[in-house]
Chain A
């Protein structure tokens, strides 16, 4: 999958299909709402082939991405950050990608005051920013669908950016489209996989037509530890508990989620290095009892 991706990118760059405005730097704004900061932490762990790795920093440099602001990683002072947001909203600064992590919090009683920014409900600022962005990417299941904070009884009245669990419509209506004409791109996962986040942003920057499923998840999204071919969660087989369905729109289900899958001690096949092509034997009984992860 990794090679395939690189080839695809190569071909496209040869065809000169580039992100609109790529003579300039692309800008990235990262906002955290009702989040655990898991995606921010996960993306620091992004890696690619080789000891040198291909990490978040390489991505920013190679793709010519200017990070406007990130709540945990930027040195930019809060005051400057507020200024940057104001500039984007006033259309003085172009926003190529808006990445949001964490659920959209509407409580208490629909006021949004459980999560505020500059004294305003953060969801109002996010909504305004969405309308300025070429692309809006929901990083993780919380910002895509609501995720854990939206689990019953949903004390914070959380929803996702464009879904509320599996129902279309969240902070934004189902018909909403970003300036590039796409719905919110849902990079689901809990947390979203680091490499998937980076690949998806690269795809977007390359101006590739993104194929989205019915939950607006790009095809880059797969279950944890999956081989990328069968899209079957590898957690049961490799770690010993059943897939909890974290890329699904209904995650977390209101039924018992934890189920141990007992593995024979020591007779486990040797794990292959990550991202090497794995040819799974169909019907192999160890992999989550064959239940696909898609919610």
Chain B
């Protein structure tokens, strides 16, 4: 069969995604990721009071609004050099972890795993078991339980922020809410309940046992050890996913980036130069196999192939512009920009975060097989285990520091520039702000999906997703399930790409 260009649209991403593929017979030979929705948050922010970012930016995304709030608050704190209460950092970390734990479960069991129930897999030995656990919508046992338990863990955010999503309980200097015994008790209860469910249903073993798995060999030995392990949600995922060869697809760029997260409460203070994080930042250079330190000044965004007024080359976000310029004809094809680090295409997400942070189990897999579809998703089973432990530790720290304030009052300045960097559940998120005369003069947001789903840059290099589709074999072009796995392993979140698109749903043969 001759080469053809086809357009594919996916559902069950937060916001929709349009992917244009060039296919030679059944093998992908080129790809373009198209973002089709533009909302213009950055333009709305310009000219407003700096603290309006605390109300407006969480509303960029309904699934990671705590992440947006944390990044916005940090950016203002860096800009104004605001001293902040260590307890506030603890509360922020705790809420951000809760959001990640929620997101990992909802993404894995409501978005990723339903693809295992695709009719294409009827002949797979584990198909019946996958249906029992994951059948959409909400029919599978684990899917149903996820609705309940992911809501319960958000009780932690609600204890401090009153609502989820879109609460504005953080502000420069701290958090607006007081620390109460009731809120801490609610947090502990939520962590306990969730841990119990996670052990019984998702892992099939105690968290302590899971955390003792340090290598790939440990994991496979664990998997074979008991029926409970094999038939747990992670057991079924691991076996089914590897049977499908998901550990051999979706590699993409070899470079990983994580901008670090969960500031050390006692040490995160002005001048905010030493970024001491519980999850450290870094750039993994796939060519030298080394982790280098991260410098936010090395970030630049390109708009050569995006529907924005072109400024030529890359620009650091502080100097960035977001001036939409929709041109239906020509070679521009998306509302997403193309961020690059040290002029390299990088991939972001929980796998990048944890490999750079030195997680032993994931590093063992990563060294053996590289970044791939299976490993990215496996990370979302693994990450909540250590987060739950860290959350409990944070609550205990809050109990120990119960009499300290959660907010330090200080006047905000009228000038400054700052950036707030954290790891949202689907990868590193950055807000860059410039303030002049007490107003926002420039605001740029770079989300994890901006990085992963980026278009080509000024040097015509493909974005990470585009690259990760190359060579993929799609058996049935009417049911591109292999493509779905690759995209979903990145937890594609297009609404949060601020400039991203929502595509149509019909697959059209263009050629």
Check B38 against A155 for contact (C-beta < 8 Å).
yes
What residues of chain B lie closer than 8 Å to A155, measured between beta carbons? 38-40, 43-44, 324
Contact with A252, one of B39, B55, B328 (Cβ below 8 angstroms): B55
CB distance from A81 to the nearest CB of B (A): 5
For B130, list chain A residues within 8 Å (CB): none
Residue in B49, B495, B503 with the greatest tally of chain A CB atoms within 10 Å = B495
- Find out whether the CB atom of B179 lies under 8 angstroms from the CB atom of A265: yes
Known pairs A42-B62, A240-B169; A113 contacts B147 (CB<8 A):
no
Whole-angstrom CA separation of A71 from B479 in the bound complex: 17
Q: Is the CB of A191 within 8 A of B62?
A: yes
| Complex-state Cα separation, A239 to B222, whole angstroms | 45
Find out whether the CB atom of B165 lies under 8 angstroms from the CB atom of A74. Answer: no
Quick check: is A266 within 8 A (CB to CB) of the other chain? yes
**DSSP majority for the B interface?**
loop
Which A residues are in CB contact (< 8 Å) with B507? 78-79
Q: In the complex the two chains form, is B161's CB within 8 Å of A239's CB?
A: yes
Q: Decide if A176 is an interface residue (CB 8 Å cutoff).
A: no
User: Residue of B at shortest CB range from A235?
Assistant: B162
**CA gap between A252 and B332 in the complex, in Å:** 33
Nearest B residue to A55 via CB reads B147
Is the pair B37, A117 in contact by a Cβ cutoff of 8 Å?
A: no
Pick the contact of B15: A32, A39, A264 (CB < 8 A).
A32
* Contact residues in B for A73 (Cβ distance below 8 Å): 12, 110, 136-138
CB distance from B272 to the nearest CB of A (A): 21
CB 8 Å contact bits of A25-50 with B (1 = contact, 0 = none):
00000001011111111101111000
- Tally chain A residues at the interface, Cβ within 8 Å: 80
Residue from the list B62, B154, B168, B335 in contact with A37, Cβ < 8 A: B62
Residues B12 and A113 in contact, CB atoms below 8 Å apart? no
Beyond A37-B63, A38-B59, A270-B182, whether A224 also contacts B137 by CB under 8 A is no
Of A15-23, A118-126, A128-136, A167-175, the stretch lying at the interface with chain B is A118-126
Give the contacting residue for A44; candidates B106, B407, B501; CB below 8 A: B106
- In the complex, whether A99 has a CB less than 8 A from a CB of chain B is no
CB distance from B442 to the nearest CB of A (A): 15
Interchain CB contact under 8 A, B11 and A71: yes
**Which A residue sits closest to B37, measured CB to CB?**
A115
A258 in complex: contacting residue of B150, B168, B501, CB < 8 Å: B168
Interface: B187 (CB within 8 A): no
Name which of B170-178, B392-400, B459-467 contacts chain A. Answer: B170-178
Nearest to A140 among chain B residues (CB) is B62
Establish whether residues B62 and A256, one from each chain, have CB atoms under 8 Å apart when the complex forms: no
Q: A residues within 8 A CB of B144?
A: 57
Say how far B445's CB is from chain A's closest CB, in angstroms. 13
A-B contacts, 7 of them at CB < 8 A, read A36-B65, A72-B111, A75-B117, A148-B44, A191-B62, A225-B163, A240-B177
Residues of B bordering A, CB below 8 Å: 9-16, 36-41, 43-44, 48-49, 51-52, 54-56, 59-63, 65, 106, 110-111, 114, 117, 136-138, 144, 147-148, 150-151, 154, 160-169, 171, 175-180, 182, 324, 326, 328, 335, 405-407, 478-479, 495-496, 501-508
Q: Which 3 A-B pairs have the closest CB atoms?
A: A155-B40, A38-B62, A240-B176
